[in-house]
Amino acid sequence: MASKVLSAAVIGLDAELVEVEADLLNQLPAMAIVGLPDKAVEESKERVKSAIKNSGIDFPRKKVTINLAPADVKKEGPSYDLPIAVSVLLAMNMVNLPDAWDRIIFIGELALDGLLRPVSGVIAIALAAKAKGITSIYLPKINADEASLIDGIDIYPVVSLHQLITHFNGTEKIAIHERGDVVSFFTNDEESEYDIAYVKGQESVKRCLEIAAAGGHNILMSGPPGSGKTMLAKAMATILPDMTLEESLEVTKIFSIAGEFTRGGFLVTRRPFRSPHHTASGVSLVGGGSWPKPGEISLAHRGVLFLDEFPEFPRNVLENLRQPLEDGIVSISRAQATLQFPAKFILVAAMNPCPCGYLNDTARNCVCTPTQIIKYQKKISGPLLDRIDLHIEVPKVEFDKLTSEKSGETSREVKFRVQGARNIQIKRFMGLGIFTNSEMRAQHLKEFCKVDKDTLDLLKNAVNQMKLSARSYHRILKIARTIADLSNEEYIRLEHISEAIQYRPKME
C-alpha cells in the first residue's frame, strides 16, 4: 500500500511543502527515488536502509519506490532521510501516524545507526510550515531551539528513528520542546580584544567609524602599511548598535539556510562581522552554486562586510557588489529560477593608496610609477566609489601618540552614542520598513532631511564644485542626518552638512 508524509524544501530564503510517498511492490528488492532529487537525496537510500535495520526492523525485501512531489521543485540535501524512512515504515504498517498526518512535517538527516543529524534552513521551514497550517514538526534535537523561534507550532525534538517509532506506537512519547527565552540572549556587553581604546590617535577615522556604525553607511579607509586600518575595522565590530529581535530573526534565517548552525548555535544575537579574504571565490562572496546558497555579503546582512586590501579583490566580484550596495539585495540567476537574498550590510573597505603603500606619506617616498598608481586605483570603479559615503585617510600615527599613556574613549562609550543615534532612527522610521538613515529613499529624504536656505546654498556649491552625482548629493544628506542624530539634533544644520561633505572623495 502506498503511504504519504510531508516534508519541506528550502528554496532561496523560503521553503515549500513536499510530499514524500512510498510504495512497496512485490518485485526484486531495490529502492528508487524519483521527483528531481539531487545526489545527496539519492544517497538517502543507503542511510535509510541502514537506519531502519538498526532501529530493529527488517527492511522490506520488495521494490521500494519513493516519490517526492511536486516534481518540479528540486530536492537537495540530506534532510529527506527522516520523511523517507517514516514513509517506508508507514507503508510497512510499522508505525501509526495520527489522523491529522497532513498537519505534520518531518525533516532530518539519518546516520547509519538511526540517530538524527542536524539540517540547515530549519527556521525558513518552520515559517513556511506555519503559513501552510502545519501544527507539528519532527526534527533533529539539535535543531529544536532554532525551530522554536517561530511560535505557534509544536516542535518535537527527535534523537533517533527508534525513538520516533516508539513515540508513534504509543510506548514512549516525545515531549514537545519548550521555547526558551530569546530576549535573555541579547545582553552582550563583554570586553573585546579589539576595543577601540587600543587604537591610539586616528581620532578622525574613529569619528567616521562612529558615523558609519550609527547610520549604516559605507566607509573606505586608505593609508600606508601599519597605520592601523585593519585594527580600526575590527574595532568597528565593538561599537555597532545592538540588534533588534526583528533584525536578529532576519539574520538567523540567512545563517540557518547557509548551514552555519549545523555545528551548534541557533540564534544570531550579535551583528555579523564578516571579513572574507580576497582570494575567496565569487560564489562564496556573493552567493550562488548549483543550488543557490547565501554568500558572505548576505551573511553580513545587518552587520559589517569588511574587505581588507580592497583593490586585491577580483574586479568582477567588486562589480557584483554594486546592486546589493544600492538595493540591499542580491539576485542570483540560475537555470531554474532567479533567487534573491537580502544583503544590507555596512561595507568597510581598507586599502593602501598605491602598490608600495606610501603615496602622500610624510616620512617615506612613494616608489610607484604614475602608471602603476593609476592602474592600482582604477581597480575600483567610479560607480563603486560613488556608493561609499565616507572616504577617510588613515595617516601614520606619530610616535608620541602611539606611546602616550592617554587612552581614548572605550568602545562602550562610543557605542552608547551610536545606540542613541540608532534608537532615534528606529523611532523615526517606525512602520516604513527601514531601520537606518542609509536606507532612506527619495521620499524619505524629502521628509526627514529638510535644510534651511544657507545650508542648501552650501550644498549647491559643493555639488557644482566637486562635480557630485545625484547619488552623492543624496548620500551627503543621509550622512548629515546621521551626524545630526549623533548629537541628538532634530534638524540638519550647516555644520552637519559641511562635515558630511568632507568625507566625499576628493576630485583628482
Q: What residue ranges bind ligand ATP (CB under 6 A)?
A: 199-202, 223, 225-231, 352, 397, 402
- Nearest approach in angstroms of CB 303 to ligand ATP is 20
Closest C-alpha among 383, 392, 390 to residue 470:
383
Q: Do 142 and 64 form a contact (C-beta atoms < 8 A)?
A: no
- Choose, by CB under 5 A, the member of 136, 166, 230, 323 that binds Mg ion: 230
Contact of residue 227 among ligand ATP, Mg ion, none (CB under 5-8 Å per partner type): ligand ATP
Query: Is residue 275 a contact residue for Mg ion (CB under 5 A)?
Result: no
Nearer to ligand ATP, 316 or 362 (CB): 362
CA distance 151 to 142: 17
- Nearest approach in angstroms of CB 273 to ligand ATP is 15
Nearer to ligand ATP, 145 or 195 (CB): 195
Nearer to ligand ATP, 199 or 305 (CB): 199
- Nearest approach in angstroms of CB 211 to ligand ATP is 19
- Nearest approach in angstroms of CB 400 to ligand ATP is 12
Q: Which residue minimizes CB distance to ligand ATP? A: 228
- Nearest approach in angstroms of CB 310 to ligand ATP is 11
Contact of residue 67 among Mg ion, ligand ATP, none (CB under 5-8 Å per partner type): none
Q: Do 218 and 389 form a contact (C-beta atoms < 8 A)?
A: yes
Count Cβ atoms below 10 Å from residue 278 Cβ, excluding itself.
15
Nearer to Mg ion, 229 or 391 (CB): 229
The grid coordinates of residue 293 equal: 546558497
Q: Do 21 and 87 form a contact (C-beta atoms < 8 A)?
A: yes
Nearer to ligand ATP, 21 or 195 (CB): 195
Long-range contact pairs involving 467-476 (C-beta distance under 8 Å, separation at least 24): 467/507, 468/504, 469/386, 471/386, 471/387, 472/386, 472/504, 474/442, 474/445, 475/217, 475/389, 476/389, 476/500, 476/501, 476/504
Bridge partners, 115 (sequence order):
160
Binding mask 49-78 for Mg ion (x = CB under 5 A): ------------------------------
- Nearest approach in angstroms of CB 315 to ligand ATP is 20
SS (H, E, C) 185-230: HHCCCCCCCCCHHHCCCCHHHHHHHHHHHHHCCCEEEECCCCCCHH
Which amino acid is present at 144? Answer: A
Q: Which residue minimizes CB distance to Mg ion? A: 230
- Nearest approach in angstroms of CB 297 to ligand ATP is 22
Contact of residue 202 among ligand ATP, Mg ion, none (CB under 5-8 Å per partner type): ligand ATP
Q: Which residues contact 497 (CB under 8 A, 6 or more apart)?
A: 451, 455, 458, 459, 476, 477, 480
Nearer to Mg ion, 229 or 475 (CB): 229
Interacting residues with Mg ion (CB under 5 A)? 229-230
